[in-house]
Amino acid sequence: MHIHILGICGTFMGGVALLAREHGVQVSGSDANVYPPMSTQLSRQGIALKEGYQAAHLDPAPDCVVIGNAMSRGNPAVEYTLNKGLSYTSGPQWLYEQVLRDRWVLAVAGTHGKTSTASILAWILEYAGLSPGFLIGGVPLNFGISARLGSGPFFVVEADEYDTAFFDKRSKFVHYHPRTLILNNLEYDHADIFPDLAAIQTQFHHLLRTVPGNGLIITNDSDTNLDAVLERGCWTPVERVSLQAGSALWQGHKQTEDGRCFDILLDGKHMGTVNWSQLGDHSVHNALAGIAAARHAGVPLAQAIEALGEFRGVRRRLEVRGEVNGITVYDDFAHHPTAIATTLQGLRRRVGDARILLLLEPRSNTMRMGVHRESLAASMQGADCIWLHQPADIDWSLSEEMGSSKVPVAIKESIEGITADVVQQARPGDHILVMSNGAFGGVHEKLLKALQSE
C-alpha cells in the first residue's frame, strides 16, 4: 500500500504521515515548502518528500492520494489526481478509516488549549501504563513526537474545527467519532472559513451528534457559547469543569497564584493536590479536563495527579528557548487575543514585577483579515514593552489600532529591526516573550545570538 500526501509538512498531515508509516504503509508526500522540523521528522521515518505540487510526483500512481485542506482546485497535483481518476481521500477520513475506527477515541476540541490538553491527557494515559496512540498539533515534551499509533485501545486526538478538504467542507472533527469529548471553550476564529460564530457552533453541534450515549462530554462550565451548542441537542452525559466555586462536578482551587499548585475537587470532595510546572488559570483548567477524561478511560484520580507532577509541557507553549546574561527568551504559539492575554497573565504571575518584553507576529489568517484588530491592543497590556511585526500581506494598519495601548509599542517591518531594538533595550532580569503561530523569521535564535554577542 502506497499513499502520497499533498500538504505533508503541515502539523496534522505530517502526523497522519507518521501514523501511516508506523502502520506499515509506504508514504511519500509533497508540499510547497519542505523545511524543518517537520521535514526532518518525516525524513527520519523514511518518508520521501518532494518540493512543490508537480503532477510528476504522482507518477507512478500511488494507491491513494491523501489531500490536505490547504489544497484547492487549480493545484497541479489536485487536477492531475482528478483527471487521471486516482483514488483520493482527506486526512481526517483516512485517519478514521485506518486508525480510529476500532479505537476508544478521546478528542479535545475548542478554540484554545487543544494541544496542551491533548498532551496532558495522552501523558496521563501513558503514565497509567495504557500506551495510548495520539495525534496532536504540537510536540508534547514527554513524548518528543506529535503522533504515534500506541498499543492500547485508547487514542487521543486534537479535534480541530477547521474544514476537512476542498471536497469536504465539514470540520475535521466530525470524522473522529469520539467516545470521550473535551470541549475547552468556543470563540470566533478561522474567519477565512467561517462567516460568524454561529457557523462554528453548528459544526460543534454536528460533533456532539457523533458522541455515543454511553460516552462522556466534558465541558467548560463558564462558557456560554458552548452552553448554546449543548442546548441545541445533547444525547451524552456531561461533566462540567470550573475554577470557580459553584455546582460544577470538577473544580480546581489554586493554592498558588500562578497555578503551579492547586487542589482538585470532585463533587465537592477534595481528591488531591497537584504540584506541577505549568502556569496560569488556563493550564489548571486544561489539567482538570484531562483528569476528567482520563477517569472516563479508567485512570484512578491519584494516579492522574501523580502524572501531572511529571508533565513537562508542550513545545512552543511558553517554552524557554534560552537564557543569556539573565535575560530569558520564551516561544509561544498564541495568536488569538484571548490566548495572548491568558499566556501573558500566566507569565506575569510567575515573574512578578520583572519586565516582560512582548514580540508578536500577527500571522494567522483571521488576524491578517483584521477580525481581531480592535481587541489586539487590550490583549497585550500585561506586557511592559511591545514590538509588532507588520507583515506585507496585512492590509490594515497596526499603528492605528495600537493608539489605545498604555504600553509602549514599536512596529517594525523587518525581523532584523525588531531584534536590534529589543537587544538594545533588554537588561538582566527581563523576560522576552515571542508569540506567533509560525516561525517568526527565526527571531528566537537571532535574539539569543545577538544577546550573547552583547
Strand 147-148 to 133-135 pairing: antiparallel
The model's pLDDT over 275-309, given as tens digits with 9 standing for 90+, comes to: 998 888 889 999 999 999 999 999 999 999 999 99
Q: What is the pTM of this model?
A: 0.85
pLDDT at position 229, please?
A: 97
pLDDT at position 442, please?
A: 82
pLDDT at position 169, please?
A: 94
CATH hierarchy code of domain 319-453: 3.90.190.20
pLDDT at position 84, please?
A: 97
What's the Cα-to-Cα distance from 136 to each of 147, 172, 248, 267, 371, rounded to whole Å? 6, 13, 28, 30, 27
Domain spans in the chain, listed from the N-terminal domain onward: 2-90, 102-309, 319-453
Q: Are 380 and 360 in contact (CB under 8 A)?
A: yes
Q: Are 140 and 314 in contact (CB under 8 A)?
A: yes
How much is the average pLDDT of 373-401? 78
How far apart are the C-alpha atoms of 29 and 54, rounded to whole Å? 11
Rounded mean pLDDT of the chain? 90
pLDDT at position 436, please?
A: 87
CATH of range 2-90; options 3.40.50.720, 1.10.8.60, 2.60.120.380, 3.40.50.300? 3.40.50.720
pLDDT at position 207, please?
A: 98
Confidence of residue 212 (pLDDT cuts 50, 70, 90): very high
Closest by CA to 66, choosing from 84, 49, 83, 81, is 81
Closest by CA to 4, choosing from 99, 95, 87, is 87
CATH superfamily, domain at 102-309: Mur-like, catalytic domain (3.40.1190.10)
Q: Which long-range contacts (CB under 8 A, 24 or more apart) does 237-246 make?
A: 239/292, 241/285, 241/288, 241/289, 241/292, 243/281, 243/284, 243/285, 243/288, 246/221
pLDDT at position 370, please?
A: 61
pLDDT at position 135, please?
A: 97
Count helices and strands (H / E) in the chain. 15, 23
Q: Are 64 and 3 in contact (CB under 8 A)?
A: yes
pLDDT at position 422, please?
A: 85
User: In this model, does residue 102 exceed pLDDT 90?
Assistant: yes
